[in-house]
Structure 1
Amino acid sequence: MNIQDVLTKKVKEAFETLYNATLNTVEFQATRKDFEGDITVVVFPMLRVKKMNPAQLGQELGQYLVENVAAVNRFNVVKGFLNLVIDDSYYLNFFAEANKNDAFGHETSKAGDKAVMVEYSSPNTNKPLHLGHIRNNLLGYSVAEIIKASGKKVYKTQIINDRGIHICKSMLAWQRFGNGETPQSTGLKGDKLVGNYYVAFDKAYKAEIAQLIAEGKTEDDAKKEAPILLEAQEMLRKWEAGDEEIVALWKQMNQWVYDGFAETYTNLGVDFDALYYESDTYLLGKDFVKEGLVSGVFYMKDDGSVWCDLTEEGLDEKIVLRSDGTAVYMTQDIGTAIQRVKDYPDIGGMIYTVGNEQDYHFKVLFLILKKLGFEWSKNLHHLSYGMVDLPSGKMKSREGTVVDADDLMQEMVDTAKQIANEKGKLDGYSEEEKNSIHNKIGLGALKYQMLKVDPKKRILFDPEDSIDFNGDSGPFIQMMYVRTRAILRKANFDYSEVITNIELHEKEKELLKVLENYPTVIQTAASNQSPALIANYAFDLSKEFSSYYQMVSILGETDKAKKVFRVQLSKKIGDTIKLAFGLLGIQVPERM
């Protein structure tokens, strides 16, 4: 129970005792710098329950708290604000308890608790991962880690979009132009090789369209009648019919892509517990559509297509089966969700990490699952996020100008290397040590910059600006961690003694206040599915430590008890930065 929880309970008790009234909520804020106090109770909202002069109400509450809460040392009232001074002993006792826990703030799941499945990445197997996938993966992975730290069991998953006309386009282009080349023969990652043929298809397609227009076709007709497109459509029909040659080619090229994706995921530092493939799941929902037809959830039109009428819920009518009986994406998603609960019976909810252009799709999906009678549908969430732009603008994959995920990660590492070389900070380190540090700084900068922004907001990402050792950045926070480790290396004495009886420096008190909030921040971030709250917390903690480091002597302190405490505090701050950054998938170097 932190200080806010203690005070909330006692303020409500005070209302019962003093005024025979029930207060439902207590509002707090940080005490303004120009007033004495550690935490402020906002009195004004309480006037709705007890009508009296706010200053008098604050005075009476303050007196009650001093008399009934050991942690409250004294108070002052400024208009409708009750400023409370918390005794040093409270923070020292809190720290002594927190220091016993290496995973401070992180809870573990309990037997019998429902699990959460988090879906992210979900790429197409016709091209490499790109800039948008980086934000998607970082968000999904981080949300999964945060929910896990909040005390829930988590499964990480993705559905790989490995079928459809876009896959056939790459396959056909490779047949036409590839001359049998492979990732091994070219030295290219498999996903990049296949992506090149997706681009090659588009180039050939446009050339055929231009030719048909020159022969007198309209643009619309030319787009539909281009021979290469008709051939790709025929290839898709053969794949769906199980043509052995086409299926073998499909398996071979998809495996090239899977191998390439695996390398990118490893470099990005994300992982999965379960994989689903669209080629396996696209038919799953058809049986449930049949059941829904019988129960009246769906209806059939004259042409044989099946629909769900959602107009009463403020949406529109949604097709779930085409007139020829083939599945649409909605059918697949219905079946996949149901299959996941079958595969993992302890799932109580699912989170879909997908861009905000799919907001409507997920409203429809969740509503259909509810209509089909699945109780767990109320625990389905769409983690909707904005797109990512670079200063040069949004780019399109079809035209070969995509911001490749591997290239961007390498650029970040190279930038970190360049800055480190210019500053000469890593002189004397081996090449292996340098490369490890460059990697942690570069990718840390990338991940922090992507995750510190609220997921719903669009991001303008500037790779160079993200590697800043002085501002709100990953490298700055990593540098504060490194500073705590340097203190520990220099502390050549036993600092294990528990210290509970010293006078705290005001900067120590401020630092302990921020530290105390960490468990609450984890729970709030999990509830809101927002890694930004963890990122912002890590920055606030690091900024407070930076100020503390500059203003307070740590190893130079002559009082033994204070010196021991300050080393312990430095260690705990570093440990907490590492824990918080771990939730963001960011590693911290021991030196930099």
Structure 2
Amino acid sequence: MSLTNIIKLRTKEAIETLYNVSIDESAITVNVTKPEFEGDYTIVLFALLKPLKKSPDALGNELGKYLVDNNAGIFQSYNLIKGFLNLVIANSFWIKFLSDNYNNTSFGRQQVSHKKIMVEYSSPNTNKPLHLGHLRNIFLGWSAAELSKAIGNNVIKTCIVNDRGIHICKSMIAWKIFANGATPQSTHTKGDHFVGDYYVKFNEAYKGEVKTLEAEGLSAEEAEKEAAIMKAAQQMLVDWEAGKPGVIELWGMMNGWVYEGFDETYKRIGADFDKVYYESQTYLLGKNLVEAGLEKGIFYKEEDGSVWIDLTNDGLDKKIVRRRDGTAVYITQDIGLAVDKYEEYKIDESIYVVGDEQNYHFKVLKLICEKLGLPYAKAIYHLSYGMVELPSGKMKSREGTVVDADDIVDEMINIAKQKTEELGKVKDFTEDELTDLYETIGLGALKFFLLRVDPKKKMVFNPEESIDFHGFTGPFVQYTYARIKSVLRKASTVDSQPLTEDKNTQHSAVGQQSSANGELLPLEKEIIILLEQFPATVEEAATLYDPSKIALYVFNLAKTFNSFYTEHSIANAESEDKKTLRIKLAQLTAQTIQTGMHLLGIKVPERM
């Protein structure tokens, strides 16, 4: 149980004892005490005044005195400032916490399984390689899944591959026209990049044809319809849906090239999935649900035969769920796929990691599922995130201005190499060790930069800014971890005996300190307070699906430790007990940084 929850529980018990009034813990607000006041945690009294019929001063003094008198191992003293009860936590509490956890490799994680959660992320198209926007999606989805695991949930990571449709046919037609039989192997090109190049070639050729037709007197709209290459792509889509063997064979071959490329990128960036769905296998799902919805009067049919749902009374719009020719639309597929997921895994929650341009789509999906009475409807959650832009602005796939994921990873590793060599501290590394180090730093910088921002916010990615060994970056946290590990190697490890006060000090619960004057120094205490907050931070980040809270936490922890280490020696501490305390403090700090960074998908090097 976190200290915040302990304070709430003890406060509830105190109120029941003092005033014979039962109060819910949720009505008790506990905050970290502001730096300008004495104390560690603050109970906000205002919400308690009316039900307890007490003035702020009377309640604060009575409650504060009771908590200190009856919880000697937790509370040392209190002070009252205008409706805020500031509590000073006993040093013995902090030292016991450190002794109990410094060697706990599971610190911050819950072991009991609660719910079954499915997290869907990546969702690439097979007409182009993964790009920078996909990276934010993948890192966010992977981290959200790992955070959910950390609080005890059973998590299934999934991906839906958009492997059919007109955009796929565009790449296929362009390959038939321009490739002359070339393959990724013959051109020494990664498969997804190879196919993506033909998607760009299609759009270049299409623009050229439209321009020519406009010069011949057609309107822009007519030219776009009459362009031969577009007609060919549209016919190919018809042939694909009809199962024409030659088209299916080409589709399978080109998608195979892309999947090989995707797998290479996923492996490099540390992404993985428990189950992959393919749109080609799911796009017909949901058609039976449309029929069921028509029978129930949830959907209605227009004169042209198309099927719709009217959501205007729910503050939305009318939405088509089946075309007049009987074919499914995207929302129909999503309804069907959601059923498929639920029936296979019996999930309690289904998380969709999709950009905020699809906010409306997921509102509609959830509402339709609710109206159909589907059992998973309430479980649908759209983890919406803002787009990633470059300093130069938005990226466009069809114009070839998107930054490919592989290219940005290469750039990050190169910058990591350059920055690290400038520091001149890797002369004793082997070539293999340097290769691994540069990849660890480069990928760490990329992931940290993309995850440190609240998912709901748009962001601008600047590679140079992301690799700064002194800023709010992954390399800063990685460097701090490596620094702590170096200190621990030099200071040697300690046994698992509990921390004690100096040899000349009599043992007692409250007097269990480890410095010459029996007190924790301010920076020692500040680090321990931060460490105690880690499990609660993990739970909050997991509940909100917000890895940025972990990024901010590990940065603050690293920054605080660096401040401590600048001021205080570990190896040459004032006493053996103080040395023991600081080694344990360093061990738990390193373990917590490692766990926190893992939850972001980031490795930490043992040395830098």
User: Could you tell me the TM-score, scaled by structure 1's length?
Assistant: 0.97
**Correspondence for 1:410:** 410
In the TM superposition, what whole-angstrom CA distance separates every residue of 1:546-588 from its partner, at most 9, and x where no partner exists? 1111122211114212212211110111011000110100010
Residues 367-516 of structure 1: matches in 2 within 5 Å? Answer: 367-492=367-492, 494-500=494-500, 501-502=512-513, 503=518, 504-516=520-532
Aligned pair 1:351/2:354, yes or no? Answer: no
The amino acid of 2:80's aligned partner reads V
Q: Give the Cα–Cα distance (whole angstroms) in 2 for the partners of residues 206 and 358 of structure 1.
A: 28
Residues 555-570 of structure 1: matches in 2 within 5 Å? Answer: 555-570=571-586
**Correspondence for 1:543:** 559
Structure 1 SS opposite 2:136? helix
Residues 265-414 of structure 1: matches in 2 within 5 Å? Answer: 265-345=266-346, 347-414=347-414
Tell whether the 8 Å contact from 2:99 to 2:584 is kept in structure 1 after alignment.
no
Structure 2 SS opposite 1:375? coil
The amino acid of 2:600's aligned partner reads L
The amino acid of 1:461's aligned partner reads F
In the TM superposition, what whole-angstrom CA distance separates every residue of 1:217-274 from its partner, at most 9, and x where no partner exists? 0001101110110011111111111111110000000000000011111111111000
Aligned pair 1:28/2:30, yes or no? Answer: yes
Structure 2 SS opposite 1:49? helix
Structure 2 SS opposite 1:75? strand
Structure 1 SS opposite 2:398? helix
Q: Give the Cα–Cα distance (whole angstroms) in 1 for the partners of residues 485 and 179 of structure 2.
A: 53
In the TM superposition, what whole-angstrom CA distance separates every residue of 1:362-411 from its partner, at most 9, and x where no partner exists? 01111111111112210110000000111111121111111111111111
**Correspondence for 1:196:** 197
**Correspondence for 1:67:** 69
Tell whether the 8 Å contact from 1:183 to 1:193 is kept in structure 2 after alignment.
yes
Deviates more, 1:499-508 or 1:85-94: 499-508
Q: Give the Cα–Cα distance (whole angstroms) in 2 for the partners of residues 516 and 454 of structure 1.
A: 23
Q: CA deviation at 1:509?
A: 1.3
Aligned pair 1:179/2:195, yes or no? Answer: no
1:92 to 91, 95, 103: 95
Taking only aligned residues, the RMSD between alpha carbons, in angstroms, comes to: 1.4
Tell whether the 8 Å contact from 2:144 to 2:547 is kept in structure 1 after alignment.
yes
Q: Give the Cα–Cα distance (whole angstroms) in 2 for the partners of residues 122 and 9 of structure 1.
A: 44
Q: Give the Cα–Cα distance (whole angstroms) in 1 for the partners of residues 556 and 493 of structure 2.
A: 30
Q: Give the Cα–Cα distance (whole angstroms) in 1 for the partners of residues 147 and 195 of structure 2.
A: 35
Q: Give the Cα–Cα distance (whole angstroms) in 1 for the partners of residues 572 and 183 of structure 2.
A: 63
Q: Give the Cα–Cα distance (whole angstroms) in 2 for the partners of residues 343 and 54 of structure 1.
A: 56
Q: CA deviation at 1:517?
A: 0.9
**Correspondence for 1:107:** 110
Distance 1:518 1:307, change over 3 A: same
Q: Give the Cα–Cα distance (whole angstroms) in 1 for the partners of residues 474 and 50 of structure 2.
A: 44
Deviates more, 1:228-237 or 1:557-566: 557-566
In the TM superposition, what whole-angstrom CA distance separates every residue of 1:425-477 from its partner, at most 9, and x where no partner exists? 21121111111111111111111111111100001111101111111111111
**Correspondence for 1:585:** 601
Q: Give the Cα–Cα distance (whole angstroms) in 1 for the partners of residues 492 and 372 of structure 2.
A: 66
**Correspondence for 1:211:** 212
Q: CA deviation at 1:135?
A: 0.4
The amino acid of 1:373's aligned partner reads G
**Correspondence for 2:508:** none
Tell whether the 8 Å contact from 1:497 to 1:564 is kept in structure 2 after alignment.
no
Tell whether the 8 Å contact from 1:416 to 1:442 is kept in structure 2 after alignment.
yes
Tell whether the 8 Å contact from 1:535 to 1:584 is kept in structure 2 after alignment.
yes
The amino acid of 1:481's aligned partner reads Y
Structure 2 SS opposite 1:399? coil
Tell whether the 8 Å contact from 1:22 to 1:49 is kept in structure 2 after alignment.
no
Unmatched 5+ residue regions in structure 1?
Answer: none
Q: Give the Cα–Cα distance (whole angstroms) in 1 for the partners of residues 149 and 205 of structure 2.
A: 48
**Correspondence for 1:55:** 57
Q: Give the Cα–Cα distance (whole angstroms) in 2 for the partners of residues 553 and 405 of structure 1.
A: 43
Q: Give the Cα–Cα distance (whole angstroms) in 1 for the partners of residues 111 and 198 of structure 2.
A: 47
In the TM superposition, what whole-angstrom CA distance separates every residue of 1:491-511 from its partner, at most 9, and x where no partner exists? 236443321432322212111
Q: Give the Cα–Cα distance (whole angstroms) in 2 for the partners of residues 242 and 91 of structure 1.
A: 68
Q: CA deviation at 1:96?
A: 2.2
Tell whether the 8 Å contact from 2:493 to 2:583 is kept in structure 1 after alignment.
no
Aligned pair 1:77/2:93, yes or no? Answer: no
Q: Give the Cα–Cα distance (whole angstroms) in 1 for the partners of residues 526 and 192 of structure 2.
A: 50
**Correspondence for 1:10:** 10
Q: Give the Cα–Cα distance (whole angstroms) in 2 for the partners of residues 53 and 492 of structure 1.
A: 55
Q: CA deviation at 1:2?
A: 2.4
Structure 2 SS opposite 1:77? strand
The amino acid of 2:43's aligned partner reads V
Tell whether the 8 Å contact from 1:495 to 1:565 is kept in structure 2 after alignment.
no
Residues 91-170 of structure 1: matches in 2 within 5 Å? Answer: 91-110=94-113, 113-170=114-171
Deviates more, 1:142-151 or 1:4-13: 4-13
Q: CA deviation at 1:136?
A: 0.4
Q: How many residue pairs align between the two structures?
A: 589
Q: Give the Cα–Cα distance (whole angstroms) in 1 for the partners of residues 495 and 390 of structure 2.
A: 48
Q: Give the Cα–Cα distance (whole angstroms) in 2 for the partners of residues 421 and 524 of structure 1.
A: 38
Distance 1:100 1:438, change over 3 A: closer
Structure 2 SS opposite 1:290? helix
Q: Give the Cα–Cα distance (whole angstroms) in 1 for the partners of residues 217 and 588 of structure 2.
A: 75
Question: Identity percentage over the alignment?
Answer: 53
Q: Give the Cα–Cα distance (whole angstroms) in 2 for the partners of residues 254 and 443 of structure 1.
A: 27
**Correspondence for 2:222:** 221
Deviates more, 1:67-76 or 1:404-413: 67-76
Deviates more, 1:272-281 or 1:54-63: 54-63
Deviates more, 1:379-388 or 1:2-11: 2-11
Structure 1 SS opposite 2:376? helix
Q: CA deviation at 1:45?
A: 3.2
Tell whether the 8 Å contact from 1:109 to 1:148 is kept in structure 2 after alignment.
no
Tell whether the 8 Å contact from 1:308 to 1:320 is kept in structure 2 after alignment.
yes
In the TM superposition, what whole-angstrom CA distance separates every residue of 1:512-569 from its partner, at most 9, and x where no partner exists? 1111111111111111110111111111211111111112221111421221221111
Q: Give the Cα–Cα distance (whole angstroms) in 2 for the partners of residues 572 and 14 of structure 1.
A: 33
Structure 2 SS opposite 1:350? strand
Distance 1:184 1:509, change over 3 A: same
